[in-house]
Every structure is written in C-alpha cells, then in structure tokens.
Chain A
Amino acid sequence: MSTPSASLSPTSLPAPRSVGSALGRFASSNGPLMGLIVLCIILEFASGRIFLTSDNLSNVLVQASTIAVLAFGQTFVIVAAGIDLSVGSAAGITGMVAAWMFTSAGLPGGVALLGGLACGLVVGMVNGIAVAYGKLPSFIATLAMLSVARGLTYVISQGQPIATPSAVSFFGKSLGPIPVPIIVLVVMGLICAFVLNYTVIGRSMYAVGGNMEAARLAGLPVKRILVTVFALSGLFAAVAGMIVAGRLDSAQPSGAYGYELNSIAAVVIGGASLAGGVGRASGTLVGALILTVINNGLNLLNVNSFWQQVVMGLVIAIAVLIDVIRHKGLSH
C-alpha cells in the first residue's frame, strides 16, 4: 500500500507515503463501501457494460429507496441496542391508511398523506412505550406490532388494493428528470445522519445503546430516548410506505411485506452492531445499496430464480463476515 494510486493527484496531498496510508485507512474504515465498489465493477463487466449506465443507476437508487429509508429508521433503533421488526408492516399500514382516508373517507389528499405519516409515528410510539415503560424486549414488542399492523392493514383494505391520492403518488413520480424516491432517499439519509451526529438525542442513542445502565446513572432520560427512537423508526417507515404506495399508485394489502429483514440486513451490512452503540447513516446507505445492486445484478445476468435466494444469503453472510474479521484484525 506504499505506492500512491495513480488516480489521486500528488499535489493535493502532502506526500506519497501518506497517500498510500490514507488510502489504506479509507479502505479499512469503509469496508462495506469497498465491497459495494467491487460488486459494481464485477457487475459492469459481467453484464456486458449495461450496469453502469445512468438509467440503470437511477433504477438502482429508486429501488433502493424503500429499503434505505426503512433502514435509516432502523439505524436509530439498532444504535440504541434495540431491534424493530415492525417496519415492513408499519410501511404497509401507513400507505393503506393514507389511501383509505382519501378513497373511502373522502378526505383531501394532503390530509390523507399527513394521516398516513401520523399513523407511522403512532405505531412507533406504541412500540417505544411498550419497550421503555412496559419493559418488553424490543424483539417481542415489535414482533407483536408486525402482526397487529399487518392484520389491521387487511382489515382496513378488506384484502383489496386501494387507490392513492396524488399527494401520495407524488412519492413515486419524478420531479423534472430526478425520480422523487431518490430525493426522499437523500433527504431522509441527511436527516438520519444529522440526528445521529449533531443532536443531543442522537448522541444519547449511542450512550443508551453502548451501556444502558451507565446512561441511566449519568442522568440521561433513557425511557424518553427509547420512545423517541422507535417513534423515529415508525415515521421513517411511514415515509417508505408512501414510496411503496406511490410507485404503484395504490396501497397493496401486502405492501412492504417482509421488508423488515432487509432493513435490518442493510444496517448490519453497513457496519452497525446488533449489540448497540455502533452505526452510521452512511454505512446503512451502503448496506441498502449492496442489497439492491445484488437484486439488480441477478436480473441483468438472468440468474435462475432458485439460485437468486442462495446468492443473496451468501452475499449478506460474506459482507458481515468480512467486517467482523476486519475489526478483529484492527483490535489486535
């Protein structure tokens, strides 16, 4: 690693030696990102040069948006040493509530949109209250919510898709040349990064996730922090729900079914620890992109359906394994 990379201009950096070590540091602290770049390069050649076209990259970002937004919300929870299994169901019910308020209850589209977002906030707060004040393990509380919210989605919809108002459909359209899901992805990512890095509540999440007892003894309002964490996750899930419904112009009863596992995988691939206290918005974005790029690539390469799930599972396992090995190497 002591030779400088040809692509970096020597004038912009002090000395060749430190360029090399800077590159090494970058690679070792951005393992998932390096993985994503390698994956993209492989796919570009394997697909016969159609992967890295602007059209296809735009598709990948649009397809990644739902999982990424869910995963940004999930990042708060995982940083605080919890887990949120209800985000897929929350995304499903919020889209359905918005569609129902508009189509069946006859409310204006904007109100329906806000109603859907508020529904996500309520779902998250109920999770948070069950965890913080009910002392339920987050796995159980959110597993219960996964079932309740999906069930209510079927009840509201009677098993049928419902058309969405234009305020919701906007989340699936384009603003000029830029697809709205990509804009939403960027905005929600920036909000996630800002909250985690620059707000008191965000820094408190790391403290709670690192050592809840120490955080409590240090005088942090642990219960209120936990409720906020889950409420944020619910709200982010609601935004993801609007993208899912918006892209299809309708809320599907099975919308976002099973997405919770992908959102958790994205966060963990991005370098967060399920033990809590570690995790970044940028890592989560990379994790979501890796999952989406694999799906996109498997389609482009026309891989047999039976093998797709095998490949997906292996990539998740390898991505996390590499990260674990790398951390062991650094700590020795």
Chain B
Amino acid sequence: MKSSIKWAAAALAATSVLAFTAGCTNNTSTTPGATTNGSGTITLLLSTLDNPFFVSIQQGAQAEARAEGLTLTVQNANNDATTQANQIQTAVASKTKAIIINPVDSDAAQAAIQPALAAKIPVVAVDRNITGVTVNSFIASDNVTGGKQAADALARAINSTGNILVLEGTPGASSTRDRGQGFTDEIAKYPGIKIVASQTANFDETDGLNVTTNLMQAHPDVVAIYAQNDEMALGAVAALGSKAGTSVKVIGFDGSDQGLADVKAGTIAADVAQQPVLLGKQAVVTVGQILKGQTVQETQSMPVQTITKDNVDAFIASNSSAANPSAAASS
C-alpha cells in the first residue's frame, strides 16, 4: 500500500516536471506568428546553443520568421547526433512544413534525415552540410575563403615575416578542414612566414588558453597566432597577457561579440567575421521561397568579412541593425 502511494507520488512528480518543461519550451523556443495562408510550422534543428554563434543563427531565423508570419520551432541537440536524429523524427511526425538543420555531424545526419526526405519535407542545411544528400539548399559562410582572408590579414599584421602558431578546431569537423585549408594555401604565398606548430584546442576557450601557454614554451619567438574560432582566440589572448596585440598578433574567426570587442581593444589584430544572424535569416527566407513554390539555389555562400580596428565600429553598427531587435530583451 505504502509503496503504491510512493509510486503514485513519483509518477505525479514526473508528470509535473514534464508539464513544466513543456511550458518552458513553448515560452522560449516557439515564435508565435500569425499563421495565416496556412503556412504552418517550420522547424529549426540546431546542433547546440552553448556557443553564441548558434544563438545568433537562432535569433536571425526567429526575427525573419516573425517578419514573414511563420511559426518557428527551435530544437537544440546539445551536440548529440542521436538526439538530433530523434528530433528529426519528431518534427516529421508533427507534420512540420519544412526543416532547417544545422547538423551535429555531417555524416550521421545522412541517415537521420531520411524520414524527412521520405515524407517529402523540404530541408535546408545551415553552416554544415549533410554528406551524400542533396538538400533543397545549403547555406554557409565561405570558410575556405575566410581562411585565405585570415592568412592575408595575418601577413599584413606581421609584415609577412616570422614564426606563427595555428590553433585548430575540433579534429575532423568540416569547418576545421576548410578554415585550415584556405589558410594553409594562402600562407604558402608568403615565404617569410613559417607555421612552427599547429595544434587542436577543440574550438574551446579554456583549451585555447592551455594550448597557447604550452606552445609559447616550446616556441617563444612566435609573432602571430591564427585561431580557427574566436573562443580559442580569446583563450590565446588570455595566455599571452600583455603580449597580445603588441609582440604577438592574434587572428580570430567568427566575429562573435567578444571577439569584436577584443578587436576594438586591440588584443585581437583581425577577426574574420561570419554573419550568423544573416545565416539564420537567409535560411528562413529560403524556406519561405520553397513553400511558395519558387526555385532556390542549391548552395548559398554567405560572405565573410575581415574585421580590424579600422572597420570594427561600422561592422558592429551594421550588424546590430540587421539583428533581431528584441533579442537583447530575452535575457
């Protein structure tokens, strides 16, 4: 008798937790739009929200969905490919009108996206593509060109001579490959510059700090560091201390708020800025076109921009006006 009461209590507790969470989800993740002309719900599946870059994609998408009167449901896979596969199934089962996906893993998404393709639901990939599948459209920053721009900016900062370090992203990720490839190809054009060490810091700030500290021990003479994202660049700046921006130039990649703040302060010499708000916006624009029966480009490369102290203010100003104005109010 006593144990059945316990079970009932446990079941009640579990149900109320679920109900509470469901309430949270509705409040935070769905943009209620006027669902006129039967446009229905579209689903945005993000790999993670623990990185400001993806939060900006979400904000750009939500702003555009609101403007177009579309209802956007956002799911976060917490960087777990299996979770994302489940979220795809759920979206298909709930008869979503279109899926915008930022795959956790390009290869794993190949099998996971099949239910959506079978149900003939339009799929738009953002930032990372799905291997072996032709999606309706793939929208990403041009990472290879970005890598080249980073190499040129670095060469300018150090007058094309000296030893440099490279902080690589997560091993195997397409952004690590592309940003590395573009950079290595372009830096080869500067015979005076030598990459003395290239090590992964997993796109992580603490790792960037530790790896830079270690590498500066082995190579105290380096004059510049290319970090394949801003988090690692900020870690490198923390490791360099007063050397950052003076005897060692740091080049970042992403154009995150903190990265741009460091460009302004002079501790990051140049930042190759992606425009995540624009990525999210363009994804929703593309879905809108598909739903209206218009043809869309299979691959869309969003421009990246080299940001230095000279143009950082202009860049911040132009991006905050393009961004979702209500985004700041959400916290």
**Interface residues, chain A, CB within 8 Å of chain B?**
47, 50, 53, 55-56, 59, 62-63, 104, 154, 158-161, 244, 247-250, 252-255, 257, 295-296, 299-300, 302, 305-306, 308-309
Say yes or no: A254 contacts B51, CB within 8 Å.
Answer: yes
CA distance A195 to B160 in the complex (A): 58
Task: Judge if B200 is at the interface, Cβ distance under 8 Å.
Answer: yes
If A248-B209, A302-B198 touch, does A158 touch B55 (CB 8 Å cutoff)?
yes
Shortest Cβ distance from B15 into chain A, in angstroms? 17
Kindly list chain B residues whose C-beta atoms are within 8 Å of the C-beta of A59: 213-214, 217
Task: Judge if B42 is at the interface, Cβ distance under 8 Å.
Answer: no
Kindly list chain B residues whose C-beta atoms are within 8 Å of the C-beta of A104: 331
Kindly list chain A residues whose C-beta atoms are within 8 Å of the C-beta of B234: 248
CA distance A247 to B209 in the complex (A): 9
Say yes or no: B200 contacts A305, CB within 8 Å.
Answer: yes
Kindly list chain B residues whose C-beta atoms are within 8 Å of the C-beta of A55: 217
Kindly list chain B residues whose C-beta atoms are within 8 Å of the C-beta of A257: 50
CA distance A18 to B144 in the complex (A): 66
- B195-222 residues with Cβ-Cβ distance < 8 A to A are 197-200, 204-206, 209-211, 213-215, 217-218
Say yes or no: A308 contacts B210, CB within 8 Å.
Answer: no
Shortest Cβ distance from B250 into chain A, in angstroms? 15
Say yes or no: A159 contacts B51, CB within 8 Å.
Answer: yes
CB 8 Å contact bits of B283-311 with A (1 = contact, 0 = none): 00000000000000000000000000000
Shortest Cβ distance from B11 into chain A, in angstroms? 15
Say yes or no: A254 contacts B215, CB within 8 Å.
Answer: no
Shortest Cβ distance from B193 into chain A, in angstroms? 17
If A248-B234, A302-B198, A305-B200 touch, does A160 touch B217 (CB 8 Å cutoff)?
no
Smallest CB-CB A-B distances: 4 pairs = A299-B214, A305-B200, A253-B50, A159-B49
Task: Judge if B318 is at the interface, Cβ distance under 8 Å.
Answer: no
Shortest Cβ distance from A11 into chain B, in angstroms? 39
Say yes or no: A53 contacts B217, CB within 8 Å.
Answer: yes
Kindly list chain A residues whose C-beta atoms are within 8 Å of the C-beta of B206: 244, 247-248, 252, 255
Say yes or no: B218 contacts A248, CB within 8 Å.
Answer: no
Kindly list chain B residues whose C-beta atoms are within 8 Å of the C-beta of A53: 217
Say yes or no: A159 contacts B55, CB within 8 Å.
Answer: yes
Task: Judge if B238 is at the interface, Cβ distance under 8 Å.
Answer: yes
CA distance A17 to B184 in the complex (A): 61
Say yes or no: A305 contacts B51, CB within 8 Å.
Answer: no
Given A159-B49, A248-B209, 4 more contacts at CB 8 Å? Answer: A154-B49, A158-B331, A248-B205, A295-B214
CA distance A315 to B52 in the complex (A): 35
Say yes or no: B211 contacts A299, CB within 8 Å.
Answer: yes
CB 8 Å contact bits of B158-199 with A (1 = contact, 0 = none): 000000000010011000000000000000000000000111
CB 8 Å contact bits of B70-90 with A (1 = contact, 0 = none): 000000000000000000000
Task: Judge if B242 is at the interface, Cβ distance under 8 Å.
Answer: no
Contact pick for A300, options B51, B168, B209, B218, CB 8 Å: B218
If A158-B55, A160-B331, A248-B235 touch, does A305 touch B199 (CB 8 Å cutoff)?
yes
Say yes or no: A254 contacts B218, CB within 8 Å.
Answer: no
Q: List 15 A-B contacts (CB under 8 A).
A: A56-B217, A59-B214, A158-B55, A158-B331, A159-B52, A244-B206, A248-B206, A248-B234, A248-B235, A254-B50, A254-B51, A257-B50, A295-B210, A299-B197, A299-B199
If A159-B51, A302-B198, A308-B200 touch, does A252 touch B205 (CB 8 Å cutoff)?
yes
Task: Judge if B258 is at the interface, Cβ distance under 8 Å.
Answer: yes
Residue of A nearest to B257 (CB): A160
Say yes or no: A299 contacts B218, CB within 8 Å.
Answer: yes
Residue of B nearest to A302 (CB): B197
Say yes or no: B217 contacts A154, CB within 8 Å.
Answer: no
If A255-B206, A308-B200 touch, does A50 touch B168 (CB 8 Å cutoff)?
no
CA distance A54 to B199 in the complex (A): 23
Task: Judge if B94 is at the interface, Cβ distance under 8 Å.
Answer: no
Shortest Cβ distance from B240 into chain A, in angstroms? 13
CA distance A154 to B234 in the complex (A): 20
CA distance A309 to B172 in the complex (A): 13
CA distance A257 to B204 in the complex (A): 10
Residue of A nearest to B211 (CB): A299
Kindly list chain B residues whose C-beta atoms are within 8 Å of the C-beta of A154: 49-50
